[in-house]
Structure formats: structure tokens, C-alpha cells
């Protein structure tokens, strides 16, 4: 990598730029040390209110992807588009990148055939607008869809959802929250009327008891995990870990409840059962601030600790002990991750957690709360900006005429011009890619060919699209299907804001100019929108901005949560929304007096098993997740020196299971589900439990999502990534995939 050629301790920076980390939802503050338009070192201020001088390995060293030779910095179009020919039906022959003179671009992962051609921005943008307008004029709003991006800024996401709603009059707008915390979002909306963390991660120091569940926090949110450890070691807090795997935090936990994947509802409901039966309920809170308790109580009757033990494997007495600890705490809090939401009953799992807080009154005060730890750097902000099929910015329902009128006025659209029809979700957009359905898709920074479940099926959907635009920094597994590639800039080459898991809105600043011809996302979107207005005969929404701050101001003029946020006010530390006025200090703790929906609502729940239970043919449960060294679909970290630390996928298997199946540590094994198979090396470890195997999903050459189940939560439409049935067989060294294997070639 380029960074290996520089000794950062011997270089004097031209400038040091303060910005926000582009990885997880913690939102750590970074200082980028720049010399000759090159970042050679990253540090962090010790007075940061978010990370207090700490950084994980990704934040400290994972910036060199910016300079990777695979990065695309010139607009690309398919040769057939320049020649005026129809799109080929067989797409395997479409993965070459070539210059105008037909010489191959060196060091590119997909450079075997001549199909891509470098071009200028005008050509690429005109082709994009021509084809989008053509399909919209022919097939209407229902044929158009867009994926916004949790890696992009608030301003980028606001503009992209605005473009599709204002110009194409469609709500087929979504992003990766559908694949991570959609179950949490829906549950929180139903129960309290808000979907963000109710408190901040740093308030863990105020907890005397806290629950961590469905979150491998040390690897997914390392800086928050440090704060959790400090809360235990330095402040005397007691931690309860509820997780199928023996994650790092178990070593410091007062209790570990190793439940079987997919049995969240019975375990949490059994804890609620104990709280009610032993009269540990905060009755004042229940009477004064909630509703639906009687119906909930009736549904709770069967969830005894013994019933939960039978389903989950967690001893009944441990369930009782955990329930008592949490209920008797002065300040109790719950922190959860995607092990709760990424299930076909993810909404119910999150509701079962919310019930615990309602019963005990552990919400609405400092040091308590309902805290879903958001995965990507700006998944909270992208949701706030309206990058979802059901909501405008500020979580205003699109099927509410009053909300529609507000945005019609803001965007200068005729009365009744915006659609009241709920849009398609991420998973539904691709499954509707066929004649009479979605025909054109615009993807900004997302990678469904890595992030969707059951990737063999996803590939079929991608092939059925008529026109695909990819706006990104690398040609990833999804962009390989694109007709046009628009080269965007990473976090260090643009200005804007991210909103972290605490709801803290923070600055993102360019460290140096964009490389090559790449451009910030917001500028690309505006240029596409202006061309579309011309082709569609519209003259409505504003598309000319001098800087990103103007975009944020426009959004905040309608969304009251952001109304008091300006770049000047967040110059140093950011502000935690809601910030309703220009003199408001921000709101670290929500729901102190009431909930947005009025009273918090209990919901009657039932136990619904995972869609695919283990059996004789597929005896293991596969669960998936992330690693400390890698990120999401790998487009950043696997193009970084971080890939040298953890270069290949592994499957974790318990020693007892490994012994039965004749598998030793480091052996190649084949992991097979009803949908696909991968070959990886085995890691024999007690980090997982008997009958459960774990595969990280960052590796395209052994993509975990070839195996996962595309069964959906009926409410949140989130797939069941965390539980599917698999078999594990010994394999040969020769069966291991080539690291240069390209998933986008479709050679599964």
C-alpha cells in the first residue's frame, strides 16, 4: 500500500484537518495529517466528547483505501451506450474497464473484457439523465428506485431522496437500515414514536446495571465497548451479556445468557414475566406513561422462565437473576445490535426489550434508556434525512397529506404532486426488478451484491434491471452490473455532516482536493437533477447550492429536529438532536416527560421460531456478523492495509462440534445451506456455542450471504441474517477460493 512508503513520525504536516470517522456509528473525531495532498497519519483529540482520545484499528489506520490503485476516478459508461446499441442480455461479458484507446486499466479487479469506456462528466451525466427520463416517461413512478447510502453525508442523502421524490414522484427510496436495524426502527416507532437511541453511549458511566444483547460491541463499536469496560471496572456497574457467542465483553460481565439464535422473544419476555410475578414493576411509570398493559400481561402468561429455558437453552434461574438485577437497578439501560433486529421476528425482539424498560421505568432519565447501536457511520443520519420508503426527513410519514404539503412547499411542487403511496423497501426493490416492475435503479455507495441475503437470487434480480447507475469510489460487486459509473469522493475529499448513534451531528471536512475527476456526491446529484428537470419539463425544486451547509439548512427548515443546527454551531463538538432552535443546547436524553406518540405502548407478543430450524440434513445454525478489522461489504477495508491483518474469511465452530465432524483448527471446510455454499478455513473456538457457527460477511470470495435466508420480518421487511440452517463438511486445500475471485462474475 502507498502508506507503507512513508514514516509518519518523520513527516511534518502541511495542515491537520478535523473530521469524523467513516466507519461505525460511534462517530469518533479524527485529525487527518496531510502533506502534499496525502494523508500520512491519523490522530484524535483527547478532549473529544465522543471517543476521548481513543480510536480503533479502522479509525487509526483504515484511511489508505483513498489511494488504492483500484479506486475509479473517471466517469465510465458501457461501450454499447456510446455506440447506441441495446444492452446485451448476457451480462457475464460486461466486466472490463478500458480507456478510450482500448488499453486496459492496470491493477483493476475486473479487467478481462472490453466493455467499460472512460468518458467526460457531461457524457456520463447526459447518458444517465437520458435513460432515467426515458424509462420514467415510458413506465412512470413505479419503475424508478434508488438506494441512498449510510456511508454518505446527511446532505448527500437528503438530496438523493429529494431528487427521486420531487422529480420521479416515487417513494421507492431506501438504504442499508433495511438490512441492519429496521426491526429496531419499526419497534421503536410503534412503542414510543421515535427510532433513535434515547440516551448517549457515554451515559453508560451512569448505569449501575446494563444489558448488552445482540451486539459484539468490542468488534462492532470498539470505543463504546471501552466505555462499557470502564463503567464496570472504574464505576462499579454490573453488565449482563445476552448473546449466542462468548463475545469479549463476557469476560467482564456479571452474567452471560448464551441463548440459542432466534430465541430473543422468549428470553426477554421471561424476564418481563419475572418482573411482573415478583412485583418489581415501576407501577407509577406504567400507569402514567404507558398503555396496552392489560393485553400485554395476558400474552406474557405463558413466558415462564422454564418455557424460555426449553426454547433458548438459558437456565431458568439465570433468567430470574438477570431480570431481578435489571429491575432493581437505580439506573438500568439496554444496548443492542443487529442480533436483535436481523431476524424474521426482529420487530418482536426489539419490542420485547422495550417492554423491559417500560416495566421498570428505565427510560426517560440520564443513565437509562433504549439504545440500539447503529452500524454504519451515518445510518442514523441517512434515516433522519428521509432515505426510507415510508418517511420524509424527520420521520414524517409519506402517506400523511399534511406532511406531503410541507415538503411540496419546501420543494416548490404543485399541490398534490408528491406521492402518498408507500414505497418499496430495499429487499422489495430488487425482488420487483422485472417487466412491469422496477426498471431503473440508482445506487449510491451501497452494495446489494454483498449485503442482500441469498445472493444467488439477488444476482438474478440485478440482471433483470433495464438501467443501473452506480455512484461510488470502487467498482464493487454491484457496480459491476452498472451501465454508468459515476466516481464519487470518500469522506476525506468532501464537506458535510454525519449523525452518529448518539444522534450527534458532526462535521466532515475535506482534507485535500478530489483525486482525478471524482466529485462529491452532492454535486453529482445536483447535476443529474438539473438535467432531469430539463428532460422532464419541470421547474420545481432548488438544485443549485454553493456549499453543503445550504443543503442542511433547507432540510432543517422543515425538519424541527435539525432546525437549530448550523455548521458554525457544530464547528468543534457537534450537537445532539433534537435541536429545535438556534439557541437550543441539544438533547442527550429523550422522553424525559413524554413519548413522541404520547404514551409508550405495550404490545402482545408470541414466540415465532426462526424460519429455518436445524435438522438432520442441516444440523447447525449459522449466524453472521462483522470483524474488528473489516467493515461492511469490504469495499474500504479490503482495499486497505487492514486486509493484511485479516485476509480471509473463517468459520468459527465449537470444539465439540469440530471433534464430531473431524475438523481441526485451520482446516478448510465447506459450509452449505439450502441456497449456496462457501469454502473457508475453520477456527475452532469456544467463542461460539455448540450447534452454532459464525461467518463474517466482508469477504466476496466466500460471501456469507450466499448462505443466508431471505425470509423477511413481515413488519420491518428485514431479512433473517442471524439464523439459518447449514451443514459443515471437511474440504480440501484446493477447494479454497482464490483471493482474486470476483463475486460479481457470478461464478458461485
Task: Tell me whether residue 108 is in a domain.
Answer: yes
Instruction: Give the pLDDT confidence score for residue 584 in this predicted structure.
Output: 98
Give, for 554, the enclosing helix (H) or strand (E): helix 548-556
Q: Report residues of the chain scoring pLDDT below 50.
A: 1-5, 90-114, 742-748
- Cell (9 digits) for 16: 491537520
Task: Tell me whether residue 632 is in a domain.
Answer: yes
Q: What is the CATH number of the domain that holds 246?
A: 3.40.228.10
Q: Are 11 and 35 in contact (CB under 8 A)?
A: yes
- 106 lies in the same domain as 237: no
Task: Tell me whether residue 440 is in a domain.
Answer: no
Question: Which of 354, 372, 390 is the C-terminal boundary of a domain?
Answer: 372
CA atoms in the 13 A half-sphere facing the CB of 250: 16
In sequence order, the 6+-apart residues with CB closer than 8 A to the CB of 213 are 241, 242, 243, 264, 334, 335, 336, 337, 339, 340, 353
Task: Tell me whether residue 635 is in a domain.
Answer: yes
- 357 lies in the same domain as 321: yes
Question: Which of 26, 41, 67 is the C-terminal boundary of a domain?
Answer: 67
Residue 634 to residues 472, 640, 722: CA-CA distances in angstroms? 13, 9, 19
Hey, is 651 helix, strand or coil?
strand
Instruction: Give the pLDDT confidence score for residue 305 in this predicted structure.
Output: 98
Hey, is 88 helix, strand or coil?
coil
- 49 lies in the same domain as 89: no
Query: Exposed/middle/buried for 430, CB within 10 Å: 0-12, 13-18, 19+?
Result: buried
- 629 lies in the same domain as 734: yes
Instruction: Give the pLDDT confidence score for residue 726 in this predicted structure.
Output: 97
Residue 687 domain boundaries: 620-745
Query: Exposed/middle/buried for 588, CB within 10 Å: 0-12, 13-18, 19+?
Result: middle
Cell 448517549 belongs to which residue?
Answer: 200
Using DSSP bridges, classify how beta strands 600-601 and 290-291 pair: parallel, antiparallel or unpaired: parallel
Task: Tell me whether residue 60 is in a domain.
Answer: yes
Instruction: Give the pLDDT confidence score for residue 102 in this predicted structure.
Output: 31
In sequence order, the 6+-apart residues with CB closer than 8 A to the CB of 302 are none
- 112 lies in the same domain as 200: no
DSSP 8-class letter at 223: H
Task: Choose among 354, 442, 479, 428: nearest CA to 710.
Answer: 428
Task: Choose among 258, 294, 300, 292: nearest CA to 275.
Answer: 300
Task: Choose among 453, 380, 501, 428: nearest CA to 716.
Answer: 428
Task: Tell me whether residue 213 is in a domain.
Answer: yes
Instruction: Give the pLDDT confidence score for residue 88 in this predicted structure.
Output: 76
Q: What is the CATH number of the domain that holds 27?
A: 2.20.25.90
**Length of the chain in residues, anyone?**
748
Instruction: Give the pLDDT confidence score for residue 113 in this predicted structure.
Output: 38
Task: Tell me whether residue 406 is in a domain.
Answer: no
- 362 lies in the same domain as 250: yes
- 259 lies in the same domain as 233: yes
What is the phi/psi pair of residue 566, to 5°? -130, 160
Q: Are 83 and 66 in contact (CB under 8 A)?
A: no
Count: domains in the chain:
4
Instruction: Give the pLDDT confidence score for residue 739 in this predicted structure.
Output: 65
Q: How far apart are the first and last CA of the chain?
A: 29
CA atoms in the 13 A half-sphere facing the CB of 10: 3
Residue 127 to residues 173, 201, 486: CA-CA distances in angstroms? 22, 46, 11
- 15 lies in the same domain as 81: no
Q: Are 464 and 488 in contact (CB under 8 A)?
A: no
Give the whole-angstrom CA distance, residue 429 versus residue 178.
Answer: 11
- 261 lies in the same domain as 316: yes
Neighbours of 575 (CB within 10 A): 21
Beta strands in 153-237 (DSSP E): 173-174, 209-213
Task: Choose among 493, 498, 642: nearest CA to 38.
Answer: 493
Instruction: Give the pLDDT confidence score for residue 95 in this predicted structure.
Output: 37
Torsion of CA 26, 29, 35, 37, to 10 degrees: 60
What is the phi/psi pair of residue 14, to 5°? -70, -35
Quote the distance between the C-alpha of residue 513 and its chain's center: 28
Q: Are 28 and 50 in contact (CB under 8 A)?
A: yes
Instruction: Give the pLDDT confidence score for residue 98 in this predicted structure.
Output: 37
Task: Tell me whether residue 57 is in a domain.
Answer: yes
Strand ordering across the sheet containing 496-499: 496-499, 504-508, 575-576
Query: Per-residue DSSP letters for 432-467?
Result: T-STTS--EEEEES--HHHHSSSHHHHHHHHHH-SE
Give the whole-angstrom CA distance, residue 707 versus residue 677.
Answer: 6
Give the whole-angstrom CA distance, residue 628 versus residue 342.
Answer: 19
b or e along 54-86 (b: 16 or more beta carbons within 10 Å of the residue's beta carbon)? bbbbbbbbbbbbbebebbbebbbbbeebeeeee
Cell 414466540 belongs to which residue?
Answer: 607
Q: What is the CATH number of the domain that holds 678?
A: 2.40.40.20
- Cell (9 digits) for 294: 392489560
Instruction: Give the pLDDT confidence score for residue 107 in this predicted structure.
Output: 35
Give the whole-angstrom CA distance, residue 22 versus residue 25.
Answer: 9
- 35 lies in the same domain as 108: no
Give the whole-angstrom CA distance, residue 54 versus residue 35.
Answer: 23
Q: Are 161 and 152 in contact (CB under 8 A)?
A: no
Instruction: Give the pLDDT confidence score for residue 6 in this predicted structure.
Output: 60
In sequence order, the 6+-apart residues with CB closer than 8 A to the CB of 537 are none
- 111 lies in the same domain as 233: no
Q: Are 462 and 433 in contact (CB under 8 A)?
A: yes
Cis preceding-peptide flag for 578 (omega within 30 of 0): yes
- 89 lies in the same domain as 26: no
Q: Are 319 and 274 in contact (CB under 8 A)?
A: yes
- Cell (9 digits) for 372: 440500539
Question: Which of 24, 50, 67 is the C-terminal boundary of a domain?
Answer: 67
Amino acid at each position: 500500500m502507498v502508506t507503507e512508503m512513508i514514516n509518519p513520525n518523520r513527516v511534518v504536516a502541511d495542515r491537520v484537518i478535523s473530521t469524523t470517522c467513516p466507519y461505525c456509528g460511534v462517530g469518533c473525531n479524527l485529525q487527518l495529517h496531510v502533506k502534499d495532498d496525502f494523508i500520512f497519519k491519523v490522530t484524535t483529540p483527547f478532549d473529544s466528547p465522543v471517543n476521548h482520545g481513543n480510536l480503533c484499528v479502522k479509525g487509526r489506520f483504515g484511511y489508505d483505501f483513498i489511494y488504492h490503485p483500484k479506486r475509479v476516478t473517471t466517469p465510465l459508461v458501457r461501450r454499447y451506450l456510446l455506440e447506441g446499441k441495446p444492452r446485451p442480455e448476457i451480462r457475464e461479458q460486461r466486466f472490463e474497464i478500458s480507456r478510450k484507446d482500448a488499453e486496459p486499466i492496470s491493477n483493476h479487479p475486473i479487467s478481462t473484457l472490453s466493455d467499460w469506456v472512460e468518458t467526460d462528466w457531461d457524457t456520463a451525466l447526459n447518458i444517465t439523465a437520458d435513460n432515467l427520463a426515458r424509462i420514467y416517461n415510458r413506465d412512470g413512478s413505479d419503475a424508478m428506485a434508488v438506494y441512498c447510502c449510510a456511508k454518505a453525508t446527511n446532505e448527500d442523502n437528503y438530496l438523493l431522496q429529494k431528487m427521486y421524490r420531487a422529480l420521479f414522484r416515487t417513494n421507492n427510496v431506501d438504504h442499508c437500515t433495511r438490512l441492519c436495524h429496521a426491526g429496531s426502527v419499526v419497534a421503536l416507532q410503534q412503542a414510543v414514536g421515535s427510532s433513535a437511541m434515547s440516551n448517549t453511549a457515554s451515559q453508560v458511566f451512569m448505569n449501575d446495571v446494563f444489558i448488552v444483547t445482540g451486539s459484539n460491541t468490542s468488534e462492532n463499536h470498539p470505543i463504546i465497548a471501552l466505555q462499557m469496560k470502564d463503567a464496570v471496572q472504574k464505576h462499579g456497574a454490573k453488565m449482563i451479556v445476552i448473546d449466542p457467542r462468548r463475545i469479549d465483553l463476557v469476560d467482564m460481565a456479571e452474567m452471560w445468557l448464551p441463548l440459542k439464535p432466534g430465541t430473543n422473544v422468549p428470553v426477554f419476555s421471561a424476564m418481563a414475566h419475572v418482573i411482573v410475578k415478583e412485583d418489581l414493576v415501576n407501577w407509577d411509570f406504567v400507569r402514567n406513561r404507558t398503555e396496552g398493559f392489560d393485553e400485554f400481561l395476558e400474552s406474557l402468561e405463558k413466558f415462564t422462565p422454564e418455557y424460555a429455558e426449553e426454547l433458548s437453552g438459558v437456565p431458568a434461574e439465570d433468567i430470574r437473576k438477570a431480570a431481578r438485577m435489571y429491575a432493581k437497578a437505580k439506573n438500568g439501560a439496554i444496548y443492542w445490535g443487529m442480533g436483535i433486529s436481523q431476524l424474521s421476528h426482529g420487530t418482536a425482539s426489539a419490542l420485547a426489550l422495550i417492554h423491559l424498560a417500560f416495566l421498570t421505568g428505565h427510560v426517560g432519565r440520564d443513565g437509562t434508556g433504549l439504545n440500539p447501536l447503529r452500524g454504519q457511520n451515518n445510518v442514523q443520519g441517512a434515516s433522519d434525512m428521509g432515505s426510507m420508503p415510508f418517511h420524509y426527513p424527520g420521520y414524517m410519514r409519506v402517506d400523511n397529506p399534511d406532511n406531503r404539503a410541507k415538503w411540496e412547499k419546501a420543494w416548490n411542487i404543485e399541490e398534490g404532486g408528491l406521492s402518498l403511496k408507500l414505497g418499496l423497501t430495499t429487499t422489495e426493490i430488487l425482488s420487483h426488478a422485472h417487466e412491469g416492475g422496477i426498471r431503473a435503479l440508482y445506487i449510491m455507495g451501497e452494495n446489494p451484491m454483498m449485503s442482500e441475503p441469498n445472493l444467488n437470487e439477488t444476482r438474478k434480480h440485478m440482471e433483470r434491471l433495464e438501467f443501473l447507475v452506480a455512484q461510488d469510489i470502487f467498482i464493487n460487486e454491484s457496480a459491476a452490473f452498472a451501465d454508468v459509473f459515476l466516481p464519487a469522493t470518500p469522506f476525506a475529499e468532501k464537506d458535510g455532516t454525519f449523525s452518529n448513534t448518539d444522534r450527534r451531528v458532526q462535521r466532515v471536512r475535506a482534507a485535500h482536493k478530489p483525486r482525478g475527476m471524482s466529485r462529491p456526491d452532492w454535486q453529482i446529484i445536483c447535476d443529474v437533477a438539473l438535467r432531469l428537470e430539463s428532460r422532464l419539463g419541470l421547474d420545481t425544486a432548488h438544485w443549485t447550492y454553493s456549499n453543503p451547509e445550504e443543503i442542511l439548512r433547507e432540510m432543517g427548515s422543515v425538519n424541527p429536529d435539525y432546525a437549530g443546527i448550523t455548521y458554525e454551531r457544530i464547528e468543534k463538538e457537534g450537537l445532539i438532536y433534537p435541536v429545535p432552535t438556534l439557541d437550543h443546547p441539544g438533547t442527550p436524553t429523550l422522553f424525559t416527560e413524554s413519548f413522541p406518540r404520547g404514551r409508550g405502548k405495550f404490545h402482545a407478543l408470541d414466540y415465532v421460531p426462526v424460519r429455518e430450524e436445524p435438522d438432520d440434513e442441516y444440523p447447525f445454525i449459522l449466524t453472521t456478523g462483522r470483524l474488528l478489522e473489516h467493515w461492511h461489504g469490504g469495499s474500504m477495508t479490503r482495499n486497505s492495509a487492514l486486509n493484511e491483518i485479516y485476509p480471509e474469511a473463517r468459520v468459527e465452530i465449537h470444539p465439540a462440534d469440530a471433534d464430531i465432524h473431524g475438523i481441526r483448527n485451520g482446516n478448510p471446510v465447506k459450509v452449505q445451506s439450502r441456497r449456496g455454499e462457501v469454502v473457508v478455513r475453520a477456527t475452532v473456538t469456544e467463542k461460539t456455542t455448540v450447534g452454532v457457527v459464525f461467518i463474517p460477511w466482508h469477504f466476496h470470495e466466500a460471501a456469507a450471504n450466499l448462505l443466508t435466508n431471505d425470509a423477511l420480518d413481515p413488519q420491518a421487511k428485514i431479512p433473517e441474517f442471524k439464523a439459518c440452517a447449514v451443514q459443515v463438511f471437511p474440504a480440501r486445500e484446493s477447494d479454497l477460493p482464490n483471493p482474486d475471485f470476483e463475486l460479481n462474475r457470478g461464478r458461485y
